[in-house]
Amino acid sequence: MGDLQIKKQTKKYDAVIVGSGAGGGMAAYVLAGAGLKVCLLEAGSMFDPATNSSQLKNPWESPRRGARTKYRPFGDFDGAYHGWEIDGEPYIKAEGTKWDWFRARMVGGRTNHWGRISLRFGPKDFKRKSIDGLGDDWPIGYEDVKPYYDKIDRLIGVFGSNEGLPNDPDGIFLPPPRPRLHELFIKKAATGVGVPVIPSRLSILTKQINKDRGACFFCAQCGRSCKVYGDFSSSSVLVKPALATGNVDLITNAMAREVLTGKDGLATGVSYIDKTDLQEYQVYGKTVILAASTCETARLLLNSKSDRHPNGLANESDVVGKYLHDSTGAGMGAIIPTLFDRKRYNEDGVGGLHVYTPWWLDNKKLDFPRGYHIEYGGGMGMPMYGFNWGIEDINGKFLVHGKQKEAGGYGKSLKEDNRYFYGARIGMAGRGESVARRDNYCEIDPTTVDRYGIPVLRFHVKHSEYEFAQARHMKQTFQEIFHSMGAVVTHGNKDSAANDWGLDNPGNVIHEAGTVRMGSDPKTSALNKWNQAHDCRNLFCVDGSSFVSQADKNITWTILALSMRASEHIVEEMKKQNI
Amino acid sequence: MDRRKSIKALVVGTLSTGVLIEACKTDDKKQPDQAQPATADAVTRMPEEQVADKELREEKFFTSGELATITVLGDIIIPRDEVSGSASDAKVTEFIEFMANDKPEFRTPLRGGLRWLDLQCLNRYEKQFRDLDEKQQLEMVDEIAYPAKAKPEFKQGVAFFTLMRNLTMSGFYTTEMGVKDIGYLGNRPNQWNGVPEDVLKQYNVAYSEKELKECVSFDKTA
């Protein structure tokens, strides 16, 4: 390294945005569209699905046949760069606690590979404390967010069906795809035991909505990101058009170090390290918008200490880093004997489930406070690494073409078994709401820095009895549905306290939220209802960090709606010269 | 413009790679010839991935003798039949060699398992496994291929053979030959119209009126 010096940008932007995922991409899109000059900092590299996606590659085009690596934890063709572990960027877990932290480093962030499950929060989801006395109410309600959900439904596109459900609001939906065969089985069985099954709601274009994006062509590979932009990712749907306005300077490989503030305590810009030349830079703006992801945003704020903000920026309330919570997750797998030796046809469909189960029960009658939804998987998918792995646990348990075989085996008989069992496996996954608690938190580790010298996070997160009870209920429900359809459970039904009742580690579902929560009271919240810091009026956080609670709904659609809402507010306030 | 044409127009208009076009071609021989050549793998890989994969490809862990035994075992697990070729036809040995570099946790179980197998064979036949005749090889494999009925003294061999079976299946069914054998028909642009009629009938299920009304459907004659 040469002489270290800090390079200061002379250009002053209207806004400096940190992070180009759902929240940052939307902010850039809205601000640039309104004519404001934006500097968009992204810690990862450039990514455009049209060029960089592995869509339609065959399994043999990967030397590991799609197996996961530390660079691609969801498999070799997945659309996310990096994930649980990044060389030189550690994070710490306090003793006796668990936290899995997925960090995609690329333009568009995790939206390049996510499941596209795009659920609106319902009226109850903003007012949980009023219902069950736990956590806190949001300072806003569904009626405040609904106009923005409507706008992003139209702007981005989502398929689904209007069911008139009280807490799973109707939307402006494209037509959903017809259920696959196993999904018809699931629907029949689940409905029979009182569990509703409705079309899923995914931000995938079953019809073309504008000239810039193609329609879905049903390859089931949304996880790889879509070359024709037939699904939503921030890179293709928000960042690309934002750049086309000419109002955005996108700086990739820019790892934000700190939010800069002036003597008056207001934000003046962001300092960052360029990962390609390892030099230090500062960039200035009239407003700073953080969307670095729930935990990175908290880290940035906690690392932005000054005389005016000795406890970190936006942290006079001392809530930054607190109330960290992820969706709960638990799954179970089974095999459907009636599907053995099934007829072959192209069953890819869209990337993910065509049907799902929204939360359907009343928690007042249950021993846990919040709900969950159920996601379903299965079908005749692309053979990848791990194909029929563990067949020795299956092929002795069922007759194959009427013949009882010894488990395991080899040879022509094994080839017959592989054909016979193909496409008969199904899976269920529950995704539920955990209760945000002050004592689940991240903080700056007192001794550890990353390769850039930036202090890292230490996590203290534990599931509570609420989540364990919810997981037990999920598993009972899954077993009941499987049983009702004549499916035989193959895994996920042997849980106990020793494995946290089958719950995924906190963080593992990658729906983390809550670290810079909004609220009406500056003593108990960091942001106001416009995602604006109580103690720094030109600082906004527009990612999942602002969430008070996260419902049993995947949070991306609400991140997008709240970011659009905050960004339009910023535009208005700038016009009025309030910022 | 009908949807099928619009998919093609999009494919040709939007993409800088030829991947989609190549995939369409299998469906439609009238595809124009101006398809660009498929771009190099590099465009989908991070630089650090490319460096790591190059090293993994070059690293030699197994001896040639070990690789020869892996090949014999692979062809016992997946032999040629009337539908498809064998593990060695599908280059499964090369796949397992790569995976032992990519997932080093396989190294000791595979190397140790191979040695376990050879020692059993030396004691029983005074030859290592790959030098046995076919009948002897299958006698030995029969001792370790059936977890539920294997004798206790062969349990380590069962664990090794189970790993070999699973790796061989992963290696075989992810090749063009294996995908064709298993009958996977996806990974190509198409229009999902739901489960085919004859399959619905076979399983005595049907789409509800609500589904038929609200779900996207495509004109099959287009």
Residues B162-210 have pLDDT tens digits of: 999 999 999 999 999 999 999 999 999 999 999 999 999 999 999 999 9
Residue A262's DSSP bridge partners are none
Mean local confidence (pLDDT), A436-452: 98
| Å between A514 CA and nearest CA of chain B | 31
A196 touches chain B (CB under 8 A): no
Reduce the DSSP state of residue A343 to 3 states and report it: coil
Instruction: Choose among A174, A178, A228: nearest Cβ to B194.
Output: A178
**Interface list for B 55-74 with A (CB within 8 A):** 56-57
| Å between B87 CA and nearest CA of chain A | 10
pLDDT at B38: 40
pLDDT band (50, 70, 90) for residue B41: confident
Q: Which residues in B lie closer than 8 A to residue A386 (C-beta atoms)? A: 170
CA B151-B155-B156 angle, to 5 degrees, is 145
B24 touches chain A (CB under 8 A): no
CA atoms within 13 A on the CB side of A367: 8
Q: Which helix (H) or strand (E) holds A21?
A: none
Residue of B11, B41, B44 to mutate, interface with A, max A Cβ within 10 Å: B44
Interchain pair A396, B148: CB under 8 A: yes
Amino acid symbol at B203 = Y
pLDDT at A2: 55
A522 touches chain B (CB under 8 A): no
pLDDT at A432: 98
pLDDT at B222: 47
List CB contacts of B212: < 8 A, sequence separation 6 or more.
none
pLDDT digits (tens, 9 = 90+) for A494-506: 998 899 999 999 9
A534 and A498 Cβ atoms separated by less than 8 Å: no
A428 and A376 Cβ atoms separated by less than 8 Å: yes
Tracing tokens 């306030």 back to the chain, one arrives at A573
Domain borders along chain B are 3-181, 190-222
A192 touches chain B (CB under 8 A): no
A395 and A490 Cβ atoms separated by less than 8 Å: no
Per-position b or e across B155-168, b if 16+ CB within 10 A of its CB: eebbbbbbbbbbbb
Q: Which residues in A lie closer than 8 A to residue B23 (C-beta atoms)? A: 56
pLDDT digits (tens, 9 = 90+) for A524-557: 999 999 999 999 999 999 999 999 999 999 999 9
Phi and psi for B68 in degrees, rounded to 5? -65, -40
A321 and A539 Cβ atoms separated by less than 8 Å: no
Q: What is the DSSP string of A422-461?
A: TT-EEEEEEEEPPPP-TTSEEEEEEEEE-TTSPEEEEEE-
B66 and B73 Cβ atoms separated by less than 8 Å: no
> Please, is A445 exposed, middle or buried when counting C-beta atoms within 10 Å of its C-beta (0-12, 13-18, 19+)?
middle
Tokens encoding A545: 């960090």
Reduce the DSSP state of residue A226 to 3 states and report it: coil
B96 and B172 Cβ atoms separated by less than 8 Å: no
Reduce the DSSP state of residue A257 to 3 states and report it: strand
Q: What is the pTM of this model?
A: 0.94
B90 and B45 Cβ atoms separated by less than 8 Å: no
B105 touches chain A (CB under 8 A): no
